Amino acid sequence: MNLKFLGGAGEVGRSGVLLDTGREKILMDYGIKIVSQAEGPLNAPQIPMKVKLALDAMLLSHAHLDHSGFVPNLYNRGYRGPTYSTATTFDLARILLNDSIKLADLRNQEKYFFKKDLKVMEKNEYRITYGQQFDVGRTLVGIYDAGHIPGSVTFHLNTGEKNLIYSGDIKTKDTELLKGLEPVRDETDVLIMESTYAEREHPDREAQERRLAEVIRETLETGGTAMVPCFAVGRAQEVLLILEKFGLNRYPIYLDGMAVDATKIIMKYPELIKQPKRLEKIYSQITKVYNNGQRNKLVNQPCIIVTTSGMLNGGPIAHYLEKLYDRENCSLTLTGYQVEGSAGHTLINTGKYVTEDKNLGVKCRLSFIDLSAHSGRKELFEYVKMVDPQKVFVIHGDSCGKFAGELREKGYDAYAPKIGEVCDV
């Protein structure tokens, strides 16, 4: 029995792990990596290693493109087997995958799948939910809430010889939107785990939320517009709930971009989020934005705009920033990780909003609030202790080798594989 690491080893992005039990071949995630300018043209994604199509199953942990973004390529190349995930994941992934096709067209980039392939993928969806089990040949697969974004899954695989956990992306602590992950209590031989924040802790969550509320309130009190660019899936909904929590829903709130459709999808599956009625309430109170005519009116009034994209690479936020960048009474608050080379990363480090055709010195108030949907360093150590595996494979991080070394110092048999490496288990 072995694992082959097709991507996501020693890096964040293009996750893909192939389990070969000797009987079944099971692929866990198959994503893309958005690269920095130093690695290639911005937003021309890196792809995982190709996998042979003799697969028994594709297991998808969640909708984010670094995990889902290359799954349709399997169907483009002729795979007709099942993909297993939650209904929320499939519905959210569909809007992200359709958008990636659109962006490839706009940027004249190579396309690895087309809309027809998404339709074939849809026909082969097997929708599962937390607490269920299903068989892939003689391997029994269990489904656990990963706590990361709505619908995210940690997979437990019992091959009959070994028990393996594929963590996906995990969040052990509650947020406004979700409960923390559901622990896997079964005995575990092998843990394949993410390590995105293995080198640092997140600041106190409550303090970060309070700071977000303060920045927005101060902006509104000076007659400004508060811009909060977000990832459409998970983060935008979290921000809406924080606004409601601190009473900011008494001010005008506008939701723009892909976040509108993503929120509708998330509300379709209330059983997968912590307090669905709160999200429904705030969603019913806010105004949805669909066109530039609406956007042009918003920039002339004190209000809160929750919009995409979270790294400032296109999306409606580009329209707002070009109108408001030089207004000192306005604010721009980033709430998530900024990939090196992204417009958001450049803005944080230089104070300039730089795109293909713009180079603007931003005068509005800039803030960064950590609302990460990943576990921090301490929680990752606690997660390994809770699972207590015989072997740990550390992936999905920029410092996988260092974290694996720290785990070895604590007595665990831990290893950080390289892309393309095949490891016996």
Q: What is the pLDDT of residue 103?
A: 87
Q: What is the pLDDT of residue 185?
A: 85
Inter-axis angle of helices 400-409 and 377-387, nearest 10: 50
Q: What is the pLDDT of residue 38?
A: 45
**What is the spatial distance between Cα 243 and Cα 253, in angstroms, rounded to a whole number?**
9
In this structure, what is the dihedral angle of CA atoms 77, 78, 80, 86, given to the nearest 10 degrees? 10
pTM of the model: 0.95
3-state secondary structure of 318: helix
pLDDT in tens, the chain (425 residues): 999 999 999 999 999 999 999 999 999 999 999 765 444 455 578 999 999 999 999 999 999 999 999 999 999 999 999 999 999 999 999 999 999 999 899 888 899 999 999 999 999 999 999 999 999 999 999 999 999 999 999 999 999 999 999 999 999 999 999 999 999 988 899 999 999 999 999 999 999 999 999 999 999 999 999 999 999 999 999 999 999 999 999 999 999 999 999 999 999 999 999 999 999 999 999 999 999 999 999 999 999 999 999 999 889 999 999 999 999 999 999 998 888 778 999 999 999 999 888 899 999 999 999 999 999 999 999 999 999 999 999 999 999 999 999 999 999 999 999 999 999 99
Q: What are the structural domains of the chain?
A: 2-200+373-424 (3.60.15.10), 205-368 (3.40.50.10890)
Q: What is the pLDDT of residue 39?
A: 46
Residue 381 to residues 165, 204, 254, 274, Cα–Cα distance (Å): 16, 18, 39, 25
| Paired tokens of 385 | 């202790």
Q: What is the pLDDT of residue 35?
A: 66
**What is the spatial distance between Cα 213 and Cα 248, in angstroms, rounded to a whole number?**
7
**What is the spatial distance between Cα 86 and Cα 82, in angstroms, rounded to a whole number?**
13
Q: How many residues make up the chain in this entry?
A: 425
The DSSP symbol for 323 reads: H
**What is the spatial distance between Cα 425 and Cα 417, in angstroms, rounded to a whole number?**
13
Comparing CA positions, the residue from 165, 168, 194 lying closest to residue 380 is 194
**What is the spatial distance between Cα 402 and Cα 259, in angstroms, rounded to a whole number?**
36
Alpha helices of 308-412 — where are they, by DSSP H? 316-324, 343-350, 377-387, 400-409
